[in-house]
Amino acid sequence: MAALEQLTAYEEDAVRAIAAASDAAAIELVRIEFLGKKRGRLKDLQALLGQVSAEDRPVLGKRFNDVKSRVEQACADRQTALSKPARSIAGIDVTLPGSPLRLGRIHPLTQTIDEFREIMGQLGFTSADGPEIEDEFHNFEALNIPQDHPARDPLENFYLAAAAAAHGPRLLRSQTSTVQIRVMEQRPPPVRIVSIGRVYRPDDVDATHSCMFHQMEGLMVDRHVTMADLKTVLRLFATAYLGADVHVRFRPSFFPFTEPSVEVDMRWQDRWLELGGAGMVDPNVLRAVGYDPDEVTGFAFGLGVERFCMRRHGVDDIRRFYENDVRFLRQF
């Protein structure tokens, strides 16, 4: 019976084409060819069925339905299989979850420094940098620190033995005040800069001391700069960083490079914190860089970066910043 043979041929062709379809687009084309309702090979078979004799029709009709549903099923199975990702490629089960990638974070001190620069930038202070290996002129002499001052004791500083022979005495800078000199040497007033960076002192390491830490140095020199400007800038800075009104207090003090000099304290959440030193730039310092102290005045300050950051985040030990313990660092 020609119709039966045609049904068999149809099924064989369909099964082969379904197996050969290698992606979702291909199986869709196969489906349209073999099962399409408007045209396609199934339509042709249906037309053929209409022409067979009445006694053959029940047998052929049943056979037609069986073949059709088998092809439909095979097509649907292949479609499902092709829409799933391959489970295994070269023996690797690609459906297993991957190992999570841990993203790094910006170190809390770097975050603090970036924020300090941003706040001071809004107050008109541009960022300046200086070397961490310094000569005695920039670390001491130009800052009006005389030869016999205790801060120059070799035991209070990290002198570099190797550099001395070739270049004269060199040390790791003990304060960022060096950058005041480097900036003023290079440009005439007015000056309004901050410099944030590392300083080094051979202190005994404990919860509040480290032999390396960070300072933010500020310097403003112009006509008619006063201590009121200094206090305003420090209060605006502390308030911007801590997000609430902060009281700033000056205590009389002494630094060779400022006159008068003060210690700066800040009161926040009912506790006082020592921030660092400040004052009006000593006329000797202005003269050392070729500025005229009768023309311009200036203020300067040097604040501890770690202290601020510890206070804001409730960190109780400065050493945590340098230990690289990711359990600590991941919290910021």
For ligand DAH, the closer CB: 130 or 302: 302
Beta bridge partners of 264: 250, 276
For ligand DAH, the closer CB: 27 or 184: 184
Cα–Cα distance measured from residue 163 to residue 104, given in angstroms and rounded to the nearest whole number: 36
For ligand DAH, the closer CB: 278 or 296: 278
Query: Residue 199 Cβ, how far from ligand DAH at the closest point, in Å?
Result: 7
Query: Residue 201 Cβ, how far from ligand DAH at the closest point, in Å?
Result: 9
Query: Residue 274 Cβ, how far from ligand DAH at the closest point, in Å?
Result: 11
Cα–Cα distance measured from residue 271 to residue 268, given in angstroms and rounded to the nearest whole number: 6
Query: Residue 176 Cβ, how far from ligand DAH at the closest point, in Å?
Result: 7
Query: Residue 193 Cβ, how far from ligand DAH at the closest point, in Å?
Result: 11
Can you give 275-319 as a three-state secondary structure string? Answer: EEEEEEECHHHHHHCCCCCCCCEEEEEEEEHHHHHHHHHCCCCHH
Cα–Cα distance measured from residue 140 to residue 297, given in angstroms and rounded to the nearest whole number: 21
For ligand DAH, the closer CB: 60 or 278: 278
Residue with tokens 């799933």: 84
Cα–Cα distance measured from residue 145 to residue 137, given in angstroms and rounded to the nearest whole number: 9
Q: What tokens were used for 252?
A: 């009389």
Query: Residue 196 Cβ, how far from ligand DAH at the closest point, in Å?
Result: 13
Using CB under 6 A, list all residues that contact ligand DAH.
175, 177, 217, 255, 258, 276-279, 300-302
Query: Residue 288 Cβ, how far from ligand DAH at the closest point, in Å?
Result: 15
For ligand DAH, the closer CB: 108 or 277: 277
For ligand DAH, the closer CB: 7 or 297: 297
Cα–Cα distance measured from residue 197 to residue 158, given in angstroms and rounded to the nearest whole number: 16
**Nearest Cα residue to 300 out of 217, 212, 241, 243:** 217
Centre a 10 Å sphere on the Cβ of residue 189 and count the other Cβ atoms it contains. 19
For ligand DAH, the closer CB: 157 or 175: 175
Q: What tokens were used for 146?
A: 């005389």
- Report whether 278 contacts 237 (CB < 8 A): no
